[in-house]
Structures are given as structure tokens and as C-alpha cells.
Amino acid sequence: MKIGFIGLGIMGSRMAANLAKAGYTLFVYNRTNSKAESLAFDNVITKNSPGLVAGESDVVITMLSTPDAVQEVALAEEGLVSGMSKGKVWMDCSTVNPSFSKQMAELSESVGFNFLDAPVAGSLVPAEKGELVFLVGGKKGVVKYCDPLFKIMGKKYIHVGENGMGSALKLVNNLIMGISMYGFVEGLLLGESLGINKEKIFDILDGSPIAPSMIQMKREKIESNDYSPEFPLQWLQKDLHLAAETAYENNLPLPATNTIKEIFALAKKAGMGEKDFTAIYPFLSELNKSTHELQ
């Protein structure tokens, strides 16, 4: 099986590296060539377009930032669709809205190849260690065909259902993650304003049923003021926006999500977009200080 990989950012570069280490021949493309060149393996071959990657590959994996980026890679003049043929598989690991995944699945079927939406739960470290969790939508036989790839890049995969269902579960996952982090940060700021230091708050919450394990996983970043990106804030804000957009498509109100996504948007506008999403803490902390000074 020959693998194509398009999108070599924080996540994609590490996922591709794990496939290369496992001995697969990889054909890769990234809009920024230097990122492709960083995969220094003899079995990794850089191509000049997504279409050329697809033409050489049995399975093409995309890991891109937005639905627009995926659409451009797929449908441009030399896009991946131009290199696909019957029996091949396009596995989109990008976080996109379910309606978009369904559109890409319909397009793939009309051309004659297979499509999986397979976004991942996990960030930089799990991607590096091959410990991601894949949330997969698509035909059972196609999922089974890709089983060896999921097992190299991740610790497990969940076949959620038909196309679009993997993307749906990913938005649910990231909505809960974003709201949980925001709620924790507000609690942390309240505690600090009352004279409780953040270390004690973390200690009290360690193992508590009210705080997800994600909070403790991010403890070191907040305590050390290290906001180097594992999952950039701008992409969490994008995912919250996609969740709100999907809810609108399904006539479902999400009042808290809509409010919190706009607060993350303010943080992005304030220059926090490329930092880890835990940078919502210093953003709100500074905002509170500024508000206090105006009183």
C-alpha cells in the first residue's frame, strides 16, 4: 500500500513520520515546501501538487486547517481529485463540519473512489507517539482496509457510522474541550482573585470528578506560562465556530458555545491565535486587569 499525505503542519508532519517509520512509501505535498523537506526519510517523496500525490497513492490522507483549505486541495486544477481513480481511498483527517464531509463523500462517490472522514482526538504529543484516537465515518469495508494505518498513527479508532459521523463526533469532542477549558479558566481567575494560588487549585482538582483529565494535562503549560502550540487557539476557535454553524444547520441553539467562541475570537484578534489554546488564561487575566484599572 502506497500512502499520500497532504498537510504537514503540527499534526500531519508527525502522523506522516510515523507512517514512514513503519516502512510505508509516502508521497507528500505541502503548500510550504520546507515542511515537506523536514520529513527526512528515504521512503518519503515530495510531489509538486496534490494531484500528483493522489496519482501515486492507494490511500491519500489530508490533514488541513479548514473546510476551505480541504476544498482547495481537492478541487483545484491539479487537486487530489484529479489523481484519484476507482478503488483508491481519500481519508480526510481535518476537522470540518459534517455537512462538508458528506459533500466530499458524495463527490468521491460520483468520481468512483472511496472517502472516509477520520478526524482525530489528540494534539502534538499523541500525534508524535502514535497515540491519536480516530473518529471515523464511512463504509465498514473501507474502514477495515485502512485499519493498519489507524493502528500506526493512533492507539485506537472508533467507527462512528456513515460519512459525516466522524466529523460530527469530533465537533462534539472539541466543543466540550473548549467549553471545559474556558470554564476552568474562569474558575481559576476567581480563585486567584480571592487569594488562592493556581497550584493549590490544580491540586484540589487533581482526580476530581468535576475536572476533565485534560485540565491536568495542560497544568504545566499554565503554571510555566509556556503557551507554545500543541493545539493552536485559532483552530479551537474555528472548531467552536463550525460546531455553532452545524447547530444552526440543524436548528439547535447553542448559547454558551456561541458566546465562548467569540471570546476565543477576541483572544485570536489580540494575537493569541498561534499560541496553544490554554493562552485563553493569560488573555482573560489581562482583560480582567484592564477592566479593573478602568474602574
Catalytic residue list contains 170: yes
DSSP of 136-151: EES-HHHHHHTHHHHH
Strand blocks (E) in the chain: 3-6, 26-29, 44-46, 59-62, 89-92, 114-117, 120-121, 132-137, 154-161
The continuous run of DSSP H or E covering 9 comes out as none
Smallest CA-to-CA distance from 100 within 198, 4, 167 is with 167
Is the distance from CB of 84 to CB of 104 less than 8 angstroms?
A: no
Residue 87 contacts by C-beta under 8 Å, 6 or more apart in sequence?
Answer: 58, 113, 114
Is the distance from CB of 84 to CB of 54 less than 8 angstroms?
A: yes
Smallest CA-to-CA distance from 243 within 181, 183, 182, 175 is with 175
Residue 63 contacts by C-beta under 8 Å, 6 or more apart in sequence?
Answer: 5, 6, 7, 8, 9, 11, 12, 15, 93, 94
114-117 vs 89-92, strand pairing mode: parallel
**What's the CA gap between 110 and 135, in Å, rounded?**
24
Which cell goes with 267?
A: 483572544
Q: Which of 170, 221, 261, 268 is catalytic?
A: 170
Is the distance from CB of 26 to CB of 45 less than 8 angstroms?
A: yes
The string over 230-253, giving b where at least 16 C-beta atoms fall within 10 Å of a residue's C-beta and e elsewhere, is: bbbbbbbbbbbbbbbebbeeeeee
Q: Which residues are catalytic?
A: 170
